[in-house]
Amino acid sequence: MSTDGERPLLRVRGLTRWYGPHVGCLDVGFDLWPGEVLGVVGESGSGKTTLLGCLSGRLVPTAGTVEFTTREGSSVDVLRMSEADRRRLARTDWGVVHQNPRDGLRMGVTAGANVGERLMALGVRHYGAIREAALDWLGQVEIDGDRVDDMPETFSGGMQQRLQIARNLVTRPRLVFMDEPTGGLDVSVQARLLDLLRTLVADLGLSAIVVTHDLAVTRLLAHRLLVMRRGQVVESGLTDQVLDDPQHPYTQLLVSSVLQP
Amino acid sequence: MSDYNFAFLDEQTKRMIRRAILKAVAIPGYQVPFGSREMPLSYGWGTGGVQVTASVIGPADILKVIDQGADDTTNAVSIRQFFVRTTGVGTTTQTDEATLIQTRHRIPETPLAAGQIVVFQVPIPEPLRWLEPRETETRTMHALEEYGVMWVRLYEDITRHGHVETAYDYPVVVNGRYLMRPSPIPKFDNPKLDHCPALLLFGAGREKRIYAVPPHTSVRSLDFEDHPFTVETWDRPCALCGAAGVFLDEIIVDDKGGRMFVCSDTDFCARRRQACGADSA
Amino acid sequence: MTAIAPAIAVEDLGKTFTLHTQGGLQLSVLRGVRLAVEPGECVALADPSGSGKSTLLRCIYGNYRPQAGRILVRDGERTVDVVGAEPRAILELRRRTLGYVSQFLRVIPRVPALDVVAEPLRALGASRAEAMAQAATMLERLRIPERLWRLSPVTFSGGEQQRVNVARGLAAGHPILLLDEPTASLDADSRARVVELIVEARHRGAALLGTFHDAEVRDAVSTRVATLHEAAA
């Protein structure tokens, strides 16, 4: 995966966000390395969505630092970046996969336009090239090429989610934020999507931060886990270790509460 | 004359609008907000254009007003009379005689010259409006030059129709920076904007925006490398004056489907006919 | 003669489970465990069931977290203390050096058996074609019929699943292998084939540590028998 001397892709320290007197997330810190998938689990109100929001720039944290290592190898302070730079980063080197694919897609334009948009925003001006890239990525997320001119509304939930993923991956981002990527999908569809994500993460060497309440998803996707409760990280470590040998009382409660079919 | 101030607007308002115009000229294609005033015509009828004209017009100016290329339509006549009543300036229908031209939906066929000012009436100034309804977001997009969504729209057109469907108000990039709507002129007129020797001013009264293209500024219509920008063509010349390569209006002449194609620019057509008449005399 | 560090060196290992969901009940499973495994050895743990053999294996693999002691694993030229190591260090260790055959296969739906076995090889940088070819060889040796290769092990019998598990654990040729009842639920023929593979690994210099319920298997593969309690004395 990575060797000593390499810089972490993302370095988070003391990340805190208050909502008035209520804590959203408190003093969260971790390093994320290239090719690593970090799972953030917790129940409702745990602060996991707040954490993701603070990391991806959607929310402004109350305190803390987030440093990202660019493709050129330099370190940038994400929270102190200019809006222009942050938005550019979000369009190129980052991806965001929302729980509801409608939040991450343009429902009013075709699948091809959805996938091609980032390329067009980067200055690609050849219609044929954009269309080809769109077809290529639709193939990679297992959407049939002849749906390229269809509207996302005509896609099933699982397909919309895969379209959202393709839309994000077209610029080959190195870091993808995912918020409950399989939430709301049928179980069989979830399985297929998780498989796809596993393959893409491995093949493309992606790093990802996956927020979910579903422990099975983390076992499948994540190398490491952060367990959150009431805004704080109560336990962290290797996924299989946290799930098989939970130390913290809350983690044990979470793990023991999961139904095994 | 009348009891109104010269050109209807008070001097302070003219100052405010001129400041907006100066800013617009300094940042080609950038939409400058201004305090649009109540004018004696409804929104949607050219209040923006009238305010811009009223702010720049001087006693020595010679004014031409056209609507869809014609000097003699109702709106053109009304606006011209308005300025005559409030300023007493001279007017003309001849493009090359005018110093100031207010227009709705066309650029004259006669090439413009240095020293002329063209004022365009604009309904919706924001090129991204139909793609992004939030003003806060579109302002940020302009500031950060994030125009991807406009390209998406063009991509969609090509996907659906094989070509870009937009026939008028075709989006352009001004001075290599700002995305702009040239007002609902036919795309046929877009090339006239590029490196035009005249000053081009755009006023939107209801939306309260002014923008400008200074003389000799690059104005490029958006297109794809493999789907380049093209203009309309007709398979016949003007039925009245025989001109080709100009914008023609289609006129229905009877209720049996009879039609004729004539120049939309009435001044241009009339003078060509005059010249022909003079020749044959 | 310079002493080369053993492949695995367990020092003073303590593991206690605290069950918070059951009022904080504490189960002390390992205490003061000391053990070393050299390359070319296959050490069999001979304690009775429930004494913590699996727990020890899982601790060495980084799957369980010990409360005391050290687990030094040789990784090429370096030595990694699994206790307290960074997650990515452990993942790297597992990728390159430390293999593990657990008692059961955790099945991911939709992933074909061939891919399951090929995955560790891909993680080591093998091309898709190479990895699939080696995986095929493995499955052949373990007598998994070819018609099953493109199917997910979800529908396989217990014995078939276990053979896929063994194939996956041994395919990459890791220098250190942890084997937790690798022949459970296998018939005599399959057991023999697994024994063959384990002995081969031993002969090529791998260090193996395992639990083998079946005495025949234990005798066939191991070079030494050890017990946790004895070691703790």
Give the residue among B83, B115, B119 at the shortest CA–CA distance from B101.
Answer: B119
A117 within some domain:
yes
Chain C: touching chains (3 or more CB pairs < 8 Å):
A
> Average pLDDT of C91-104?
91
- A-B interface: how many C-beta pairs under 8 angstroms? 53
Residue A98, domain member (yes or no): no
Q: pLDDT category, A237, cuts 50, 70, 90?
A: very high
C–B touching, 3+ CB–CB pairs within 8 Å? no
All residues of chain A having their beta carbon less than 8 Å from the beta carbon of residue B149 are: 117
**End residue of a domain, out of A131, A153, A172:** A172
The answer to whether residues A159 and A70 belong to one domain is no
> Are the C-beta atoms of residues A209 and A52 closer than 8 Å to each other?
yes
Give residue C232's pLDDT band: very low, low, confident or very high (50, 70, 90): very low
Residue B279 banded pLDDT, cuts 50, 70, 90: low
The average pLDDT across B6-24 equals 97
Average pLDDT, integer, range B198-227: 97
Residue C203 within a domain: no
- Residues A168 and A179 grouped into a single domain: no
Specify whether A4 is located in the same domain as A86: yes
- Region A206-233 average pLDDT: 93
pLDDT, tens digit (0-9, with 9 covering 90-100), for A103-146? 999 998 999 999 999 999 999 999 999 999 999 999 999 999 99
Tell me the three-class secondary structure of chain C, residue by residue: CCCCCCCEEEEEEEEEEEEHHHCCEEEEEEEEEEEEECCCCEEEECCCCCCCHHHHHHHHHCCCCCCEEEEEEEECCEEEECCCCCHHHHHHHHHHCEEEECCCCCCCCCCCHHHHHHHHHHHCCCCHHHHHHHHHHHHHHCCCCHHHCCCCHHHCCHHHHHHHHHHHHHHCCCCEEEEECCCCCCCHHHHHHHHHHHHHHHHCCCEEEEECCCHHHHHHHCCEEECHHHHHC
pLDDT at A43 over 60: yes
Mean pLDDT in residue range C195-222: 94
Q: Look up residue B44 and give its amino acid.
A: G
- The yes-or-no answer on residue B269 being catalytic is yes
Residues A20 and A74 in one domain: yes
Specify the residue for token string 């606006």: B79
A-chain residue closest to B141, CA distance: A84
pLDDT tens digits along C169-207? 999 999 999 999 999 889 999 999 999 999 999 999 999
- Number of folded domains in chain C? 1
Distance between CA atoms of A201 and C201, rounded to whole angstroms? 31
Which structural domain range is residue A112 located in? 105-172
Cα separation, C45 vs B183, whole angstroms: 85
The pLDDT tens digits for C130-166 are 999 999 999 999 999 999 999 999 889 989 999 999 9
Contact of B146 with chain A, judged by CB distance below 8 Å, is answered with: yes
Q: Mapping DSSP to helix (H, G, I), strand (E, B) and coil, where does residue A74 land?
A: coil
DSSP lists the bridge partners of residue A177 as A96, A209
Same domain, A74 and A132: no
The answer to whether residue C125 sits within a structural domain is yes
Asked if A118's CB is within 8 angstroms of B155's CB, the reply is: no
The whole-number average pLDDT for the span B139-143 is 94
Please check whether residue C135 lies inside any domain of the structure.
Answer: yes
Same domain, A162 and A178: no
**Residue at A144 is within a domain:** yes
Q: Is B29 a catalytic residue?
A: yes
Give me the pLDDT at residue A202, please.
Answer: 85
- Chain B interface disruption, residue of A86, A114, A120, A171, most B CBs within 10 A: A120
Q: Which residue out of B151, B177, B226 would a mutagenesis test of the A interface target, given it has the greatest number of A Cβ atoms within 10 Å?
A: B151
- A109 and B144: CB-CB below 8 Å? no
CA dihedral B115, B121, B124, B127 (to 10 degrees): -30
What does the mean pLDDT of chain A come to? 91
Does residue C124 sit within a domain?
A: yes
Interface of A with C (CB under 8 A): 1-2, 33, 36, 191-192, 195, 198, 202, 220, 223-224, 237-238, 240-241, 244-245, 247-249, 252-253, 256
Q: Is A147 among the domain residues?
A: yes
Model pLDDT for residues B23-49, shown as the tens digit of each residue? 999 999 999 999 999 999 999 999 999
pLDDT at A5: 56
Q: Do B227 and A117 touch (CB under 8 A)?
A: no
Are residues A159 and A252 located together in one domain of the fold?
A: no
B276 catalytically annotated:
no
- Say if C225 falls within a structural domain: no
How many domains is chain A built from? 2
Catalytic residue among B69, B196, B205, B269: B269
Residue where a domain stops, chosen among A153, A172, A191 = A172
CATH number of the domain within which A28 lies: 3.40.50.300
**Residue A184: its pLDDT value, please?**
79
- Between C63, C95, C110, which is nearest A240 by CB? C63
Q: In chain A, what is the straight-line distance between the N-terminal and C-terminal CA atoms, in Å?
A: 33
Tell me the per-residue pLDDT of B85-126, one tens digit each, with 9 for 90 and over.
999 999 999 999 999 999 999 999 999 999 999 999 999 999
Per-residue tokens: B53: 């004209």
- Chain B residues in contact with A130 by the CB 8 A cut-off are 155
Which position among B29, B46, B49, B205 bears the catalytic label? B29
Cβ distance of B140 and A83 shorter than 8 Å: yes
A31 lies in a domain?
A: yes
Helix (H) or strand (E) holding A199: helix A187-204
Same domain, A259 and A164: no
Q: Which residue of C has its CA nearest to A256?
A: C21
Instruction: Please name the chains neighbouring B, where neighbouring means 3+ C-beta pairs under 8 angstroms.
Output: A
Q: Which two tokens stand for residue B37?
A: 């005033």
Of C65, C91, C108, the CB nearest to A1: C91
The residue in chain B having the minimum alpha-carbon distance to the alpha carbon of residue A121 is B148
Residue A111 lies in a domain: yes
Tell me what the pLDDT averaged over chain B comes to.
94
* Residue in A87, A110, A149 closest to B146 by CB: A87
Confidence of residue C89 (pLDDT cuts 50, 70, 90): very high
Q: With a cut of 60, say whether residue C231 has pLDDT above it.
A: no
> Phi and psi for C72 in degrees, rounded to 5?
-100, 120
Mark whether A148 and A179 lie in a shared domain. Answer: no
pLDDT at C211 (0 to 100): 94
Token output for A205: 């060497």
Distances (CA, A) of A209 to A38, A56, A105, C2: 5, 10, 20, 46
Quote the Cα angle for A217-A223-A229, to 5°. Answer: 65
Of A121, A126, A149, the CB nearest to B159: A149
Contact A50, A16 (CB under 8 A): no
Q: How far is B160 from chain A (nearest CA, A)?
A: 8
The answer to whether residues A118 and A158 belong to one domain is yes
Looking at the structure, tell me whether residues A179 and A145 fall in a common domain: no
How close is the nearest chain B Cα to the Cα of A30, in Å? 31
Burial C92-121 (b: 16+ CB within 10 A, else e): bbbbbbbbbbbeebebbeebbbbbbbbbbb
Residue B196: active-site member: no
Instruction: Say if A100 falls within a structural domain.
Output: no
Alpha-carbon distance C30 to C13, whole Å?
A: 7
Tokens for C106, please give them.
Answer: 């955790």
Is residue B175 within 8 Å of B218, Cβ to Cβ? yes
Tell me whether residue C20 is in a domain: no
| Cβ–Cβ below 8 Å for C65 and A237 | yes
Nearest neighbour of C20 by CB, restricted to A1, A241, A252: A252
Chains C and A touch each other (3 or more Cβ pairs < 8 A): yes
Measure CB to CB from residue A191 to each of C64, C90, C109 and give the nearest one: C109
**A197-224: average pLDDT:** 90
Spatial separation of the C-alpha atoms in residues B215 and B42, rounded to whole Å: 31
The full DSSP string for chain B is --SSBTTBS-HHHHHHHHHHHHHHHHSTTPPEE--PPP-SS-TTSSHHHHHHHHHH--TT-EEEEEETTBSSSHHHHHHHHHHHHHH--EE-S-GGG-SEEEEES---SSPP-TT-EEEEE-S---TTTTT---HHHHHHHHHTT--HHHHHHHHHHHHHHSS----BS--EEETTTEEE---S-BGGGHHHHTT-SSEEEEEETTTTEEEEE-TT--EEE--BTTB-------SS--TTT---SS-EEEEE-STTS-EEEEES-HHHHHHHHHHHHHHH-
In a domain, A193, yes or no: yes
Between B69 and A195, the higher pLDDT residue: B69
Is A69's pLDDT higher than 50?
yes
C229 pLDDT more than 70: no
Segments forming the whole domain that contains residue C124: 108-161
pLDDT at residue B281, rounded to an integer: 44
Distances (CA, A) of B268 to B93, B94, B99, B121: 9, 8, 17, 21
CB C101 within 8 A of CB C179: yes
Q: Is A93 helix (H, G, I), strand (E, B) or coil?
A: coil
At how many degrees (to 10) do helices A111-121 and A157-169 cross? 20
| Catalytic residue flag (residue B241) | yes
How confident is the model over B125-139, as pLDDT tens digits?
999 998 889 999 999
Indicate the pLDDT class of residue A199, thresholds 50, 70 and 90.
confident
Kindly provide the ipTM of the predicted complex, given to two decimals.
0.90
Helix, strand, coil percentages for chain A (3-state, nearest 5): 40, 25, 35
Whether residue C9 is contained in a domain is answered as no
Q: Does one domain contain both A158 and A188?
A: no
8 Å CB contact of A240 and C108: no
A94, A172 contact by CB (below 8 A): no
Cβ pair C83, C71 in contact under 8 A: yes
| Residue C183 resides in a domain | no
Last residue of one domain, picked from the residues A156, A172, A188 = A172
pLDDT digits (tens, 9 = 90+) for C25-63: 999 999 999 999 999 999 999 888 888 999 999 999 999
